[in-house]
Structure 1
Amino acid sequence: MALTWIQLPSTRNRASIARRLRQAAARITTAAITAVDARYEWFGRLSPEHRASVTLVARAGVDGFINWFGEGGSDRPVQIFERAPRELSRHLSLKQTVDLTRTIIDTVDAEIDEQLPRADRPYLHAALNEYSRDVAFAAAEVYAAAAEVRGAWDLRQEATVVDAVMRGEVDDAIMSRVATLGWRSTSGAAVVLGTCPADGAETALEATHRTARSLGLDCLTAVHTDRLVVVVGGAPLGPDADLVAVLAPLAERFAEGPVVVGPRVEQLAAAGGSARAALSGLRAAPGWPQAPRPVHADDLLPERALSGDGHARRALARDVYGPLAEAGGGLLETLTCFLDEGLSIEASARALFVHANTVRYRLKRIHEVTGYSPTDPRDSYTLRLALTLGRLLGPGTA
């Protein structure tokens, strides 16, 4: 934009002013860096290499102003960060860069009164005011571009990590990538799976990260085909946590349909097990249309077993049938009879030739031993399948 802020001097006079300003450029740059060093502690903490980069930017700012003024307010974009944009965006925050540019501009403004003749000053002050706005836009463009590059890089890294979790191949190389993505949790992790919203994967990923942060959780997300994969970790996922209750707000970030929470694992490196269970649960979820949303993968063990998940079959045999067989006391016999008699305590008592209170006591013990209540329709379905699988596979199934 051509200068319109004041009646410009003639081309010859403008060139003379620019020449005098150029002669003072080194002193002005030194004064600017001195001012930055005096005002901001962060500058002193930079490495010599990075301080040199800042000095280059300061000199580029002064030289850029001189050239811009000499050309009468050139339409060319201000590019004072061209020499070290990578250094600035990597080692200085946007606020620090704003402070840096403001200090440079203020110093140049003050040095004009010190270094230049009185007749030159009005033109230079007015021009500097215009130039400073272009510098501000240039800084914003540098950080916007850097943020875009970092965002794309982060998305690729995040997708790579989530893919490794889904394949159960989280090694040291993957864990080093996780640290760069802001994962801080050292214990407690789980995987949540559901359908990705059709209106945009990027929006869903951003919204999921916001929700996870509001819950105090570390979060990694990615989209696999039509599935939204969410890996979470943090203190809220403690050993005694109700995962479904803690992670319920995340269900809103998925499209309609089942949302399955994999079991808690101790650390991210073992999250492949949680992912496998969640994926198995998502495939089997249509078998239980009334399932809550979200639903824990372990609550879908019957459907998972029937859909061909060997882990689920072995879990039912080992963790349900096995403890009942070990407990003795007629629990297996009572459970079998109770299920065969249509969940009737009285009919079971008659068939077993025991008092009804004995049946009630044994049913309570079954609940204590397995975590499933024989009198609950859903739990009785799980117990029935566990009995069958336990007989087929044996209680000691690994």
Structure 2
Amino acid sequence: MAPAAGDRADPLAEAAERAGRDARGVPAELLVGYLEGLDEVSSTRRRLRADQLRVRREAGARAAERGVSLHGVIDLHLSATWLAWPSLSGVREAPDGDAVRAAGEAVFRAADAAVMAVAQGYEEAQRWSVRQEESFRREFVDDLLDGRNLGQLAERAERFGLRLAGSNVVAVVRAAQPVVDGGEVARAVESSLHLRSGSRDVLVTTKNDLLVCVVPESMSGALDEFVRQVAAALGTDPTWLVGVGRPQSGPGGVVRSFEQSRHAVDIADRLGLPGRVHRAEDLLVYQVLLRDSAALADLVSVVLEPLRGVRGGAGPLLETLTAYFANGQVATACARELHVGVRTVTYRLQRVKELTGYSVEDPSQALSLHVAVLGAKLLGLPLSSHQTS
């Protein structure tokens, strides 16, 4: 629709520019095709065509991609509608009030459909952006915790608030139920931790059914807060454990600390260690034992195999040895833990000596017994399952 000679600039273009200003600077170019469509509808009284609605969906998607709020882009369209109303062909050329009302009904119906299309395009673009971001994040987390593509990790990490050049600590949580990405537990811990720490430098994610937290070594308090939030989220689960790796630097440091934290949880679980939080640095002796699992299995077999033949099974004797060493080789403390008499403890220890030839009173033999009992648990050897009559 060209303006008549001597007229001022195109009134629809002016309405679009004014709408952009009224909508606090939302780009007027997002209206391309909209007012022309309303002008056509005002004369024909027809609905917007499918191709015109498609253009509006695309405008909504562009708005989302450019960071324009949904409120802003809708405000732009509604402002343009009333600003352009007096200039629409069907309104200017209407012969009477009935014609104006008919044009109004058609225009406002078209505006409603257009705004709905804009919102649909906007929301679709946002959903796609969220899915894409989740995909990027999952790929980054997998590379980070698997130690892949280390050369590119530092640059990619900045997008998620991590600084891999420094030293980081990884903590993992194992619970009775697997912790899944986007699940209730992961969301609750992440949102609460970020709210309280006020920092983006902490990454909370999942891997292999574990809840994982990556924290800069300098933010030691964040780990304590992480454990508190885990306790709040898993309070009804009596089995959850936290493993904490040692501080490690560089892009490959995170995967090393992650593996250490996983091993700490495994060891604590196998040995039934007391407490919820287990640090890798406190469990180094067990990792040393596991490095030569074949030799450890031989030691278990040589020292504890004779217990298999005891009447009633090896369970009570192994349980007594475990409690005895856990209580600093003090028989009275061992008895209290097992809820038996001290004479029962001393009798069982004597039976161990008779059956195996190893005495808890001899320091070197006591060490062999202690390591053998630990080794059986670390390796998952079922020494207590065999019973004889």
Q: TM-score interval w.r.t. the shorter chain?
A: 0.5 to 0.7
**How far apart in 2 are the matches of 1:309 and 1:103?**
75
**How far apart in 1 are the matches of 2:45 and 2:167?**
62
- 1:98 aligns with 74
Offset at 1:91?
Answer: 0.9
Instruction: Point out where structure 1 has 5 or more consecutive residues left out of the alignment.
Output: 1-18, 44-50, 311-338, 345-380, 386-398
**How far apart in 2 are the matches of 1:124 and 1:33?**
20
Asked if 1:156 corresponds to 2:138, the answer is: no
Q: 1:245 to 1:91 in 2, by over 3 A?
A: closer
Contact kept? 1:165, 1:275, Cα under 8 Å:
no
- 2:228 aligns with 248
Give the match's secondary structure for 1:230: strand
Among the aligned pairs, what percent are the same residue?
14
- 1:58 aligns with 31
Asked if 1:133 corresponds to 2:133, the answer is: no
Q: 1:165 to 1:63 in 2, by over 3 A?
A: same
Superposed CA deviations along residues 190-210 of structure 1, whole A, max 9, x for unmatched, are 323234745854324433432
Contact kept? 2:178, 2:210, Cα under 8 Å:
no
Q: 1:124 to 1:250 in 2, by over 3 A?
A: farther
**How far apart in 1 are the matches of 2:190 and 2:86?**
46
Q: 1:82 to 1:74 in 2, by over 3 A?
A: closer
Contact kept? 1:165, 1:272, Cα under 8 Å:
yes
Offset at 1:160?
Answer: 1.8
Structure 1 residue identity aligned to 2:37: G
- 2:349 aligns with none
Contact kept? 1:164, 1:170, Cα under 8 Å:
yes
Offset at 1:108?
Answer: 2.4
Superposed CA deviations along residues 61-95 of structure 1, whole A, max 9, x for unmatched, are 22333455536336959334344555322113224
Which of 38, 41, 46 is the equivalent residue of 1:72? 46
Give the match's secondary structure for 2:173: strand
Q: 1:262 to 1:93 in 2, by over 3 A?
A: farther
Asked if 1:281 corresponds to 2:264, the answer is: yes
Normalised by the size of structure 1, how large is the TM-score?
A: 0.56
Query: What does 1:209-248 align with in structure 2 at a 5 Å threshold?
Result: 209-215=190-196, 216-218=198-200, 219-233=202-216, 238=218, 241=221, 243-248=223-228
Normalised by the size of structure 2, how large is the TM-score?
A: 0.57
Offset at 1:225?
Answer: 3.3
Structure 2 residue identity aligned to 1:65: L
RMSD: 4.3
Give the match's secondary structure for 1:177: helix
**How far apart in 2 are the matches of 1:29 and 1:172?**
54
- 1:193 aligns with 172
Asked if 1:297 corresponds to 2:277, the answer is: no
Offset at 1:35?
Answer: 0.9
Instruction: Point out where structure 2 has 5 or more consecutive residues left out of the alignment.
Output: 294-324, 331-366, 372-389
Q: 1:161 to 1:309 in 2, by over 3 A?
A: farther
**How far apart in 2 are the matches of 1:267 and 1:42?**
44
- 1:34 aligns with 17
Which of 108, 127, 131 is the equivalent residue of 2:84? 108
Which of 216, 224, 246 is the equivalent residue of 1:263? 246
Offset at 1:249?
Answer: 0.8
**How far apart in 2 are the matches of 1:194 and 1:309?**
27
Contact kept? 1:221, 1:231, Cα under 8 Å:
yes
After alignment, is 297-306 or 109-118 more displaced? 109-118
Offset at 1:59?
Answer: 2.7
Structure 2 residue identity aligned to 1:34: E
Superposed CA deviations along residues 274-316 of structure 1, whole A, max 9, x for unmatched, are 2121122122221343443343333443444433399xxxxxx
Q: 1:110 to 1:301 in 2, by over 3 A?
A: farther
Q: 1:117 to 1:276 in 2, by over 3 A?
A: same
After alignment, is 297-306 or 107-116 more displaced? 107-116
After alignment, is 165-174 or 148-157 more displaced? 165-174
Contact kept? 2:179, 2:210, Cα under 8 Å:
no
Give the match's secondary structure for 2:10: helix
Q: 1:284 to 1:278 in 2, by over 3 A?
A: same
Give the match's secondary structure for 2:56: coil
Superposed CA deviations along residues 155-207 of structure 1, whole A, max 9, x for unmatched, are 22112221222133464522333333455898664323234745854324433
Contact kept? 1:188, 1:268, Cα under 8 Å:
no
